[in-house]
């Protein structure tokens, strides 16, 4: 299993200089992928509870760098790690503008991009972006249609429920077929992933629960011509005393959990350190180095 690292982009880490430093150091440590997430609004009173914990927004999320800016910085200071979004809230973006931005990042990184898309849990973000909450799933489906059309041969065209693109040119194209991964653990999300996506953006769960979700995903039919779904697991590491969560405990304990995840057939995992383990950049880099040493690949 390949191991990646979440880039610093939230809270006290929300500065381009931190991204630049960590991306370069992570590549030198041997991390094989680098990841960025998205928050577009930090409301004081949430309309929908934050998943996990007590439902409140983590204070670190009150400051955030844009994920495509974050990955663009990383692309310029690295040569080999894959660069992924986990996740980018696709329905909040006009798909033709999203396709243009993702294409530029793919070209900048010489074909290292993974376009990881999701729906976001936040009704506040949909209101702020002027997108109807009830249409989010349908808009994600049509976004996938638009991306496929724009990244296909010219002339491109699309006519759907939400967007119409008249016949025309979309240039430049990405360097290759950009892999599209989707997040979500509901039955509808797993069905969409199995049917349309190249990969699944999963979150760390107890091993039995993760095993069940992987089995459920593999039971859904694939579209003809698609390769088997790959899985990327987000691991929000919590270094410290042992606890109830899968990635809570010593560095060695978290490395053992990663080995157990790999035995389930998970192809990729990435560790995010900025919410739970450290407050300063030296701490961030120290934890990243210790974990990379404990989990060599």
What average pLDDT does range 209-237 have in this prediction? 92
- List residues bridging with 114 in a β-sheet: 84
Sorting pLDDT into bands at 50, 70 and 90, what band is 244?
confident
Residue 117, pLDDT > 80, answer: yes
The pLDDT assigned to 245 comes to 83
Do the Cβ atoms of 254 and 247 come closer than 8 Å? yes
pLDDT of residue 240: 83
* Confidence band, pLDDT 50/70/90 cuts, at residue 255: very high
For the chain, give the mean pLDDT. Answer: 94
CA distances from 250 to 26, 173, 245, 271, 290 (A): 20, 45, 12, 14, 10
Q: What is the mean pLDDT of residues 155-173?
A: 98
pTM: 0.96
* Residues near 45 by beta carbon (within 8 Å), at least 6 away in sequence: none
For residues 8-29, average pLDDT: 97
Cβ contacts of 52 within 8 Å, gap of 6 or more: none
The stretch 217-235 carries a mean pLDDT of 90
List, for residues 58-69, the tens digit of each pLDDT value: 888 999 999 999
Q: Is the pLDDT of residue 19 over 90?
A: yes
Determine phi and psi for 30, rounding to 5 degrees. Answer: 100, 10
Q: What is the mean pLDDT of residues 241-254?
A: 87
pLDDT tens, residue by residue, 257-277: 999 999 999 999 999 998 876
For 77-107, write each residue's pLDDT tens digit.
999 999 999 999 999 999 999 999 999 999 9
Straight-line distance from the first to the last Cα atom of the chain, in angstroms, rounded to the nearest whole number: 7
Distance CA 101, CA 161 (A): 23
Burial code (b: 16+ CB inside 10 Å, e: under 16) for 72-96 equals bbbbeebeebbbbbbbbbbbbbebb
Torsion angles phi and psi, residue 288, rounded to 5: -60, -40
Q: Read off the pLDDT of each residue in 179-208 and give the average, rounded to a whole number.
A: 94
Measured CA to CA, the distance from residue 254 to residue 294 in angstroms comes to: 9
Residues of the chain with pLDDT > 70: what percent?
100
* Domain 2-294: top CATH class: alpha beta
| Boundaries of every domain in the chain | 2-294
**What is d(CA 117, CA 189) in angstroms, rounded to the nearest whole number?**
11
User: What span, in angstroms and rounded, lies between the C-alpha atoms of 226 and 257?
Assistant: 30
Q: Is the dihedral of CA 114, 115, 119, 123 positive or negative?
A: positive
DSSP state of 7: P
Note the pLDDT of residue 232.
98
Quote the CA–CA distance of 1 and 265 in Å, as a whole number: 8
Query: CB neighbours of 277 closer than 8 A, spacing ≥ 6?
Result: 237, 238, 239, 240, 283, 284, 287
268-272 and 156-159: which strand pairing? unpaired
DSSP 58: P
- Three-class SS state of 266: coil
Res. 54: pLDDT tops 90 = no
CB burial of residue 223 (10 Å; 0-12, 13-18, 19+): exposed
User: What pLDDT is attached to residue 175?
Assistant: 96
DSSP state at residue 277: T
Q: 19 Cβ partners below 8 Å, 6+ apart?
A: 7, 8, 9, 65, 70, 73, 74
pLDDT at 223: 81
Q: What is the mean pLDDT of residues 110-116?
A: 98
């Amino acid at each position: 299993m390949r191991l990646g690292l979440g880039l610093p982009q939230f809270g006290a880490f929300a500065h381009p200089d931190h991204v630049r430093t960590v991306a370069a150091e992570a590549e030198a440590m041997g991390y094989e992928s680098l990841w960025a997430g998205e928050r577009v609004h930090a409301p004081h009173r949430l309309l929908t509870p934050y998943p996990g914990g007590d439902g409140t927004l983590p204070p670190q999320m009150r400051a955030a760098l844009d994920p495509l800016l974050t990955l663009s910085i990383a692309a310029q200071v690295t040569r080999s790690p894959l660069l992924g979004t986990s996740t980018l809230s696709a329905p909040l973006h006009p798909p033709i503008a999203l396709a243009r931005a993702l294409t530029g990042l793919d070209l900048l990184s010489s074909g290292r991009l993974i376009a990881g898309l999701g729906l976001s849990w936040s009704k506040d973000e949909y209101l702020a972006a002027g997108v109807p909450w009830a249409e989010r799933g349908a808009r994600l489906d049509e976004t996938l249609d638009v991306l496929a059309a724009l990244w296909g041969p010219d002339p491109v065209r699309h006519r759907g429920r939400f967007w119409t693109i008249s016949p025309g040119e979309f240039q430049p194209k990405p360097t290759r077929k950009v892999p599209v991964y989707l997040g979500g653990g509901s039955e509808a999300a797993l069905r969409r992933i199995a049917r349309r996506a190249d990969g699944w953006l999963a979150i760390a769960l107890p091993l039995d629960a993760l095993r069940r979700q992987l089995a459920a995903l593999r039971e859904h039919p694939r579209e003809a011509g698609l390769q088997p779904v790959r899985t990327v697991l987000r691991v929000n590491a919590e270094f410290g005393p042992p606890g109830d969560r899968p990635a809570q405990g010593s560095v060695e304990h978290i490395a053992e959990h990663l080995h157990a995840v790999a035995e389930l057939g998970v192809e990729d995992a990435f560790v995010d350190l900025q919410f739970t383990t450290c407050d300063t950049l030296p701490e961030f880099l120290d934890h990243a180095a210790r974990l990379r040493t404990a989990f060599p690949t």
